[in-house]
Amino acid sequence: MRAVIDNIKAWFTKDTASEGESAKLLIVLRILFTSMSLYGIAGSIYCVCTRNIEAMICYMGTFAIYALLFYSSYYIKTFTLVIVSNVVSVACTITGYFLLGSTVAVQSFFITIVVVCYFSGYGHYIIKGFFALFVCAVYYFLETRYGNTVAFLPFSISERIYIRLMNILTSFWGVATVCYIYSRDSQHLEGKLIEYNKILRQQASTDTLTGLSNRRSANEFIEKLIKRNDEKGFCVCMCDIDFFKKVNDSYGHDVGDKVLAGVAQALVENTSDDCLVSRWGGEEFLIIFPNMNGDEAKLMLDKIRARINMIEFDTGSKKFNITITYGLAEYGYDGSTENVVKEADDKLYIGKENGRDQIVF
């Protein structure tokens, strides 16, 4: 069974003798040719059952035409095949309109023809537009001039119902096939593009070492808080690890990176979920406290300071502790992102000058 499926797949995917052809369009055309061939066979079988020999010959002709187009797809260029198949399909639809009549929806194949034309990669859109107008004009002419003409082939009411159903199903199957094959890849690519953009946005707003938000993300967060203009306001705290250069010089940058990561984790674990902890740069961190006044933020910083002072960092041969100096500023409603951050930074340096390991508010 697997071998049969592989052989059928090979029939549809085999390239033409020419290089540089659109494999996707070729597969679509072969599927449509096969569908129309099966349509011809189904119509022939039905006409044999109803003993309508003239109609059977008509459907056998449809089968022969599209089977020949399928066969020729292995030997002629896809561009040529598109033109030939469009011309043949228009001619077959017009012929079917007169033979079967206007009441069996044979004109619905015009829609499939236009869809195939537009999804094919060949031809300028102006040319495709003129072709669509031509098909529309033919459709309109047939409906207005011959819409009430009696069909050349006689059919009973039940036969017309069956033929109408078969025509509608086949034409809509063709439209659905073309749209599915071409939209599937574009939707897949669009999904990948969305995912890549999400990753890029995350990378652009995240510090790679600590996993915290970076300076850009922190500034955007402050801007959002300013625009929200909450009644309680917010606070900003600039933190700096004391004597961090000495840590790097004494124990190496690998240990320094572990200290940064450990401090980042401690800051996140000891702030509330609505707070934003970001790495501002180097050994500096910025904490944003939404919906908090200065006193409330100061209480949280006291807990953070006590927790960080208890952390022991292990170099393998020695354990050590670090301290942090904190500068806390309260947003004054009439300021800007730069002003509130600068105020927190100024208070941080006041703490540095006054002995470090303290909160300045």
Task: Give the start-to-end residue ranges of the domains of the chain.
Answer: 2-198, 215-360
**Cα separation of 346 and 327, whole Å?**
7
Give the least confident one: 52-61, 193-202, 205-214, 288-297. Answer: 193-202
pLDDT at residue 19, as a whole number: 55
Give the least confident one: 64-78, 193-207, 278-292. Answer: 193-207
pLDDT at residue 332, as a whole number: 78
For residue 307, pLDDT beyond 70: yes
For the entire predicted model, the pTM comes to 0.58
Helix (H, G, I), strand (E, B) or coil at 215: helix
Give the least confident one: 10-19, 66-75, 119-128, 188-197. Answer: 10-19
> Average of pLDDT values for 8-23?
63
DSSP state of 149: P
**75/3: higher pLDDT:** 75
For residue 280, pLDDT beyond 90: yes
pLDDT at residue 181, as a whole number: 85
CATH architecture, range 215-360: 2-Layer Sandwich (3.30)
For residue 230, pLDDT beyond 80: no
- Strand order of the sheet with strand 324-330? 276-281, 284-290, 234-241, 324-330, 359-360
**Cα separation of 51 and 147, whole Å?**
27
- Taking only the tens place, the pLDDT of each residue in 119-147 is 876 667 788 889 999 999 999 999 998 88
